[in-house]
Structure 1
Amino acid sequence: MDIHGFLATHQLPSSYAEIAQKWFTPLCERLLKHQKGANKPFVVGINGCQGSGKSTLTSFIEATLTSVYNKRVVSLSIDDFYLDQSERSALAIKVHPLLKTRGVPGTHDITLALSTLRQLDNSERTALPRFNKATDNPFPKEQWPVIEQAPDFIILEGWCVGVPAQSSAEVKAPINHLEEVEDPLGIWRSFVNTELVGQYQTLFNKIDYSVMLKAPSFDCVYQWRLEQEHKLAASSKGEGSGIMSDEEVANFVQHYQRITEHALRSLPDKCDTVFRLDSTRTITEQDIKQ
């Protein structure tokens, strides 16, 4: 693989090459070992909080498996299955106003996600949904990339990928200002948790090998998400109304706090590979189950 081209494309420092060689190339070798002999696409799930490096890791795995090992790889983000603004507005009216904001379980089209995986499994011609965060709506369907044959690997990445639901008792007490003020009766968080019990677990159960980029705590999320938003603002060149101010980002991440903290507690034991990050997103150690 042309690592220098990869670094340039993703605007990464040269030090990323050493990180990838140490941690991610061996991960790709493990994935190949597990995929060997599979008679259907091998699904890799990647979990990590916002800004943890999921998208970059996904791109590295795809580039390595494609260019070095001649494998067909399809990359999907759970973000690409967000409902559009009008659908979320309808949910906000019907269930709770907080559902207007994309992100939590209940704001994705999981039926579409399952259908997309099923089509890929069946070697059908498949359009891959893509969501435009700058406009806060999906890209037009005619702009979705189309896959003509079954891939060897499907990568599904996302901040809540693989996360189990909480118990109803755990959902009762608010954990931050947003929940306390905007969801005092717990209607929103109960709805989100109920959604997470259902089709989301059906989707997550399709994962054959799970990877986690584990943040040291939720405190890092605001800073990491802020960096993402500044990059998005720079790349979108004023397109759309989806770019958030720093204050809006601070409010936005509170929507994710409950499930992110639950993931940090519950998910490492369930994952096949866990990369433990420090506050600068540097990997300090890894846990490998298989």
Structure 2
Amino acid sequence: MAAPAIDPPPLQTRMVDDKSPICIPFILARIREHRKQHAADANPRPFIVGLNGVQGVGKTTLVRALAETLQEREGLPTLVASIDDFYLTHADQLALAAAHPDNALVQHRGEPGTHDLALLDRFLAAVLNHEPTPLPRYSKAAFSGLGDRLPRSTWAVAPPVSVLILEGWCIGFRPRPRAAVEAQWSSPRARTLRHHKLDHLLFLNDRLRDYETTITRRLDAFIHIDAAATDYVYGWRLQQEAQLRRESGGRAMTDEQVVRFVDAYYPAYELFTEGVRAGIFLPERPGAQLRLVVGEDRRVVEQMVL
């Protein structure tokens, strides 16, 4: 079933940040708890915050406010990293696509399985070991928009930090039982899942086992910026491209291209968002996840600690 034509919500010339006043106290409280747990350590391990939100929900604004508060007000050296900078190199992405030529989900960067988790693992290990850490850089414009990792000579080297904020649209996604994936794929309510073979969706699900080991188990706190309706992402992306079109003299995706772009990510939203909503640390670590739900105007309408 193709995504219906969706009109973008009215353009906001200024993103209203009503999330930071909620998220900052939550993170500071978790850091205080972290310090208590590591009070006997001469050099406590850095605190890692994961942040998940659908495209266009306002992650960048929130991350900037969090980092500035931790760095400048709390005096905590803070590093921000995006999972987007850990995509496979162009050559490795081509190899992945060639190895699975009929799986549309891995023909381009984006879905779980298209990240270099070995590189991310080394990055996180260096941060946790208080080592100077090279921060990879990825250009989405390289190879006519297919993207590629920039040369290592262009990477900044971050000094040891007290806090790492790792943000990304699929941070916190966890694998599901095969039967659950199959049931959702078969559901008449599925929006994009039936565009793909079940085995192709299970490929994504299997790849997430490595994401859980590499990322989720290392997180000390997690913020999930959820949408009251996940398909708001279509309108938000249309809005962003309309703004880009005005600012760039027309150089932006068409509305049809935007829908196809979001469709490429939407299967993972359909499959894995409910698991994030249920709490990625539960039942072992209650209280370490903050979930904010936003309406179509991106303003918070609900908040809860899980």
TM class, shorter-chain normalised?
0.7 to 0.9
Q: 1: distance between equivalents of 2:175 and 2:87? A: 19
Give the gaps of 5 or more residues in structure 2: 1-11, 39-43, 281-288
Deviation at 1:103, TM superposition (A): 0.9
Counterpart secondary structure, 1:102:
coil
Counterpart secondary structure, 1:205:
helix
Query: For the structure 1 residues 228 and 108, does the alpha-carbon distance in structure 2 shift closer, same or farther, using more than 3 Å as the test?
Result: farther
Query: For the structure 1 residues 120 and 233, does the alpha-carbon distance in structure 2 shift closer, same or farther, using more than 3 Å as the test?
Result: farther
Residue 245 (structure 1) aligned with residue 246 (structure 2)? no
Taking only aligned residues, the RMSD between alpha carbons, in angstroms, comes to 2.7
Residue 13 of structure 1 corresponds to which residue in structure 2? Answer: 14
CA contact (8 A) 2:52 2:172 kept: yes
Deviation at 1:168, TM superposition (A): 1.6
Residue 32 of structure 1 corresponds to which residue in structure 2? Answer: 31
Residue 42 (structure 1) aligned with residue 42 (structure 2)? no
Query: For the structure 1 residues 176 and 285, does the alpha-carbon distance in structure 2 shift closer, same or farther, using more than 3 Å as the test?
Result: closer
What amino acid maps onto 1:33 in structure 2?
Answer: R
- Structure whose residues are more often helix by fraction: 1
Identity %: 31
What amino acid maps onto 1:68 in structure 2?
Answer: R
Deviation at 1:234, TM superposition (A): 7.2
Deviation at 1:130, TM superposition (A): 1.9
Q: 2: distance between equivalents of 1:131 and 1:230? A: 24
Deviation at 1:15, TM superposition (A): 4.4
User: Which string of whole-angstrom CA distances, capped at 9 and with x for unpartnered residues, describes residues 93-141 of structure 1?
Assistant: 1113521221111100011111101011122221111222233222332
CA contact (8 A) 1:41 1:154 kept: yes
What amino acid maps onto 1:156 in structure 2?
Answer: L
Q: 2: distance between equivalents of 1:196 and 1:170? A: 15
Q: 2: distance between equivalents of 1:15 and 1:53? A: 9
Residue 64 of structure 1 corresponds to which residue in structure 2? Answer: 69
Counterpart secondary structure, 1:107:
coil
Residue 137 of structure 1 corresponds to which residue in structure 2? Answer: 148
Residue 7 of structure 1 corresponds to which residue in structure 2? Answer: none
CA contact (8 A) 1:82 1:138 kept: yes
CA contact (8 A) 1:217 1:264 kept: no
The partner residue of 1:192 within 204, 220, 233 is 204
User: Which string of whole-angstrom CA distances, capped at 9 and with x for unpartnered residues, describes residues 14-70 of structure 1?
Assistant: 843xx2563233234324323424410111111111111222211111111001011
State how 1:171-210 maps to structure 2 within 5 Å: 171-172=181-182, 173=185, 175-176=190-191, 179-181=193-195, 183=196, 185-210=197-222
Residue 237 of structure 2 corresponds to which residue in structure 1? Answer: 225
Using the TM superposition, name which of 163-172 and 269-278 deviates more: 163-172
Counterpart secondary structure, 1:146:
strand
User: Which string of whole-angstrom CA distances, capped at 9 and with x for unpartnered residues, describes residues 136-190 of structure 1?
Assistant: 2223322222113x2111111111111111222333436445x545x3x433212
CA contact (8 A) 2:49 2:166 kept: yes
The partner residue of 1:259 within 264, 268, 280 is 268
Query: For the structure 1 residues 128 and 158, does the alpha-carbon distance in structure 2 shift closer, same or farther, using more than 3 Å as the test?
Result: same
Counterpart secondary structure, 1:198:
helix
Q: 1: distance between equivalents of 2:134 and 2:23? A: 28
Residue 120 of structure 1 corresponds to which residue in structure 2? Answer: 127
CA contact (8 A) 1:134 1:232 kept: no
CA contact (8 A) 1:162 1:201 kept: no
CA contact (8 A) 2:27 2:221 kept: no
What amino acid maps onto 2:234 in structure 1?
Answer: Y
Q: 2: distance between equivalents of 1:157 and 1:127? A: 17
Residue 228 of structure 2 corresponds to which residue in structure 1? Answer: 216
The partner residue of 2:162 within 114, 139, 152 is 152
What amino acid maps onto 2:220 in structure 1?
Answer: D
What amino acid maps onto 1:104 in structure 2?
Answer: E
Counterpart secondary structure, 1:214:
strand
